[in-house]
Structure 1
Amino acid sequence: MKTTRRYDIDWLRVIAIGLLLIYHIAIIFQPWAMFIAFIRSDELSEGLWKPMTMLNVWRIPILFYVSGMGLYFAMQKRNWWQLLAERTQRILVPFVFGMIAITPLHIFVFQKYYKMALDYYPHFGHLWFLGNIFCYVVLLLPVFLWLKKRQDSSLKKWFEKLFKTPLGLLSINLFFIAEVSILRPKPFAMYAETWHGFFLGLLAFFFGFLNMYAGKSFWKNVRKWRFLYAGIAAVLFTMRFVVYATEAPGYLTVIESNCWIFAVFGFCNRYLNKPSKTLSYLSNAAYPVYIIHMIVLYLAAYVVLPYHLPAMVAFVIITVLTFVGCFLIYELIIRRIPFLRPFFGLRWNFPLFQKKNKNALSITKEEAS
């Protein structure tokens, strides 16, 4: 089976992780930062948080969508055992290693900054996302394998028809509305280690897979109607910001969230579905950078905040230091020391895991849009 690389999805992952770093840096300048174990600046910025209120309703769900898409591609040339082995290497190993050896480090910096007693304990930290993803793979794999055997079935054609129109694609919001109606999360963006985050992620992961299962009809839809989805999202965000002080009813928030996501899919498919050396490098670096970014962010805050610079100046400096520091660690240490690579989700040098990894985000030419 000939395959075509999905460069737009590679870019989606890179962009989503980049936005996640910026979002986490912005938390430093909010009055409630310490309540979630972030170092807090004495110079606060309410203005800095305003754009983050738009971002925070879709920054995590889009990563779950992309992860579901990635699993679809990974399944195309693997049996169930190879898939579980590959996901264990790529997700479970970094998750367990990070919980033991990475997340405690930024808590050490937090404790040091506030002159607290240094205390070590393994915890999920920002890597909770990986634990959720591995659970979804295990829980949904029987369903996905069943769908894989029905690539030419009437069911697949039904999904192709459903995701062909904006109304059909927007109909999946009914499942997300049911989730928030049952769990009633407050605030909506409280994803980490909550049942809301788990089930919202499960739905996004599942529909990310189904979007790819539907093939080119999904991509044609989001590409053609990208401005419609962006417009709906912008209207709902304005309503949420002006009428509801950023925390709208759940049924409106999930529609806004998914419309932002569909719009981003459409724009990326239109403008970014092409190869580049920059993408190749960033795509490989994104996962390790995600794993280590919190320790670098905390160290940058530890160094910069004592100077009491204006909030926006400190934000820019910490952002630059965080991105530069993460990529230096990736380039000089993680990428170049073979035994470290598997702990950060990079390819192992074992034949079982080398085979066909390069096709992890590929699709058949017939499915390319």
Structure 2
Amino acid sequence: MTTQRRYDIDWIRVIAIALLLIYHIAIIFQPWALFIGFIKSDQLLEDLWTPMTMLNVWRIPLLFYVSGMGLYFAMRKRQIKGLIIERSKRILLPFIFGCIAITTLHMFIFQKYYNMPLSYYYGSSHLWFLGHIFIYVLVLSPLFYYLKKHEDSLFRKTLSTFMSYALGPIMVSVFFMLEVGLVKPQLFELYAQTWHGFFIGFVAFFFGFLFVYSGTSFWKTVSKWKWLYIGIACVLYAIRYSGFESISNMYITTLESNCWIFGVFGLGYHYLNKPSALLTYLSQAAYPVYIIHMFVLYAGAYLILPLQIHPFLKFLSISLFTFIGCFLIYEFILKRIKILRPLFGLKWTISKQLNTVSNTVELRKTNS
């Protein structure tokens, strides 16, 4: 059973959430932003969407994969009852509180920006992701604990062998293709509050667990073949971006999505699987930042969009405002006020966090 902490998975989660912030900021400068509830800039930057169209087919599935992997590690020290309690505190509580108190804040700013009557607007907004994760935990935990108790089974050995081949991880795309065929989404990248988002998340979460459960074979494979996966993804993205609809459809997009993800996992495993004090801090901050980022982003848009400056400077300014604002709120409010910590997915006290940072620094000194 895997016991060593996987720093590369922590790094990938942090990077994925950072990319999520940039993605949401880029939406402000697109002509359709208003139709999905974002404040829209009068000055557009449609060229920004070129890299975003590459990102949007794998950014959310990646987070679901990582969440499934995280559940495997959370199960190491907990039985099923303890796991459900821990996930309820860490996921369900922030989800409920966020829907009631946090998502309403950026809707107030939205209403104020467009001179709409101010009203309370309850909704999950970007926190839909947390609701889905909690459901997956409830549904899949009995199966996962069964697999955990039978780690010497023929299934695990077969899975490990299958994942040792370059085609092994790629074949998982068949299940994503089945999801597309059954759910028939309007757009592959339309995840938020759709059945497509729910079921593609379910598939990614399930296989995220299985990838770690299979042992080291998956990680050695994606590390060895990372550039092959990225190369395939680049070719498929070029075809999709060029508009060859007869070639590039949502079934092929599932393959592109997974190739990007496996390439990222391979790069992470090869280059990022090592501890650092920075990672310890960022991995603690990432979850609260994810919860509050839409409020800070809308506040930045409210203040910066009216300025008479070039739209790209507005994009950079809103980006800086969002990242700096989120970390200031985390560092000086959420992290330090005990009653707020569990509402944003943090532990009640900071003593363990400080010890972890100290231990990480000492480990780096020892390894140097």
Counterpart of 1:318 in structure 2 is 318
Counterpart of 2:250 in structure 1 is 250
Q: Determine whether 1:187 maps to 2:211.
A: no
Distance 2:233 2:182 in 1: 23
Counterpart of 1:90 in structure 2 is 90
Alignment deviations for residues 106-149 of structure 1 (CA, whole Å, 9 cap, x no partner): 00000000000001032101000000000000111111011011
Shift of 1:219: 0.5
Distance 2:188 2:14 in 1: 24
Distance 2:132 2:117 in 1: 31
Shift of 1:312: 1.1
Q: Determine whether 1:100 maps to 2:97.
A: no
Normalising by the residue count of structure 1, what TM-score does the alignment of the two structures yield?
A: 0.93
Q: Determine whether 1:337 maps to 2:328.
A: no
Matches within 5 A, 1:107-146: 107-146=107-146
SS of residue paired to 1:4: coil
SS of residue paired to 2:274: coil
Q: Determine whether 1:27 maps to 2:27.
A: yes
Normalising by the residue count of structure 2, what TM-score does the alignment of the two structures yield?
A: 0.93
Matches within 5 A, 1:1-369: 3-244=3-244, 248-349=248-349
Distance 2:41 2:180 in 1: 33
Alignment deviations for residues 262-320 of structure 1 (CA, whole Å, 9 cap, x no partner): 00000011111111111010000000000000000000000000014222111001000
Alignment deviations for residues 311-347 of structure 1 (CA, whole Å, 9 cap, x no partner): 2111001000000000000000000001100000001
Change (3 A) 1:245 1:118: farther
Distance 2:2 2:68 in 1: 22
Alignment deviations for residues 225-273 of structure 1 (CA, whole Å, 9 cap, x no partner): 0000000000000000013479941111000000000000000111111
Residues 136 and 202 in structure 2, CA contact (< 8 A), matched pair in contact too: yes
Shift of 1:86: 0.5
Identity %: 60
Change (3 A) 1:318 1:245: farther
Q: Which letter does structure 2 place at the counterpart of 1:218?
A: F
Q: Which letter does structure 1 place at the counterpart of 2:277?
A: K
Residues 25 and 319 in structure 1, CA contact (< 8 A), matched pair in contact too: yes
Change (3 A) 1:247 1:121: farther
Shift of 1:349: 4.8
Shift of 1:169: 1.4
Q: Which letter does structure 2 place at the counterpart of 1:102?
A: I
Residues 53 and 246 in structure 1, CA contact (< 8 A), matched pair in contact too: no
Q: Which letter does structure 2 place at the counterpart of 1:241?
A: Y
SS of residue paired to 2:57: coil
Root mean square deviation, CA, Å: 2.0
Residues 240 and 246 in structure 1, CA contact (< 8 A), matched pair in contact too: no
Shift of 1:153: 1.3
Distance 2:142 2:189 in 1: 30
Residues 42 and 308 in structure 1, CA contact (< 8 A), matched pair in contact too: no
Distance 1:43 1:243 in 2: 26
Q: Which has the higher contact order (CA 8 A, sep 6+)?
A: 1
Counterpart of 1:363 in structure 2 is none
Q: Which letter does structure 2 place at the counterpart of 1:141?
A: S
Residues 57 and 189 in structure 2, CA contact (< 8 A), matched pair in contact too: yes
Residues 107 and 121 in structure 2, CA contact (< 8 A), matched pair in contact too: no
Distance 1:247 1:45 in 2: 28
Alignment deviations for residues 193-247 of structure 1 (CA, whole Å, 9 cap, x no partner): 1000000000000000000000100100000000000000000000000134799
Equivalent pairs, count: 355
Shift of 1:3: 3.1
Shift of 1:5: 1.3
Distance 1:246 1:74 in 2: 43
Alignment deviations for residues 5-36 of structure 1 (CA, whole Å, 9 cap, x no partner): 11000001000000000000000000000001
SS of residue paired to 1:18: helix
Change (3 A) 1:246 1:349: farther
Distance 1:83 1:168 in 2: 30
Distance 1:210 1:2 in 2: 12
Q: Which letter does structure 1 place at the counterpart of 2:177?
A: I
Alignment deviations for residues 171-207 of structure 1 (CA, whole Å, 9 cap, x no partner): 1111100110122212111101100000000000000
Distance 2:182 2:202 in 1: 15
SS of residue paired to 2:4: strand
Residues 184 and 250 in structure 1, CA contact (< 8 A), matched pair in contact too: no
Residues 99 and 127 in structure 2, CA contact (< 8 A), matched pair in contact too: yes
Shift of 1:154: 1.3
SS of residue paired to 1:3: coil
Distance 2:218 2:347 in 1: 30
Q: Which letter does structure 2 place at the counterpart of 1:286?
A: A
Distance 2:244 2:198 in 1: 25
Residues 239 and 247 in structure 2, CA contact (< 8 A), matched pair in contact too: no
In the alignment, structure 2 segments of 5+ residues that lack a partner are 358-368
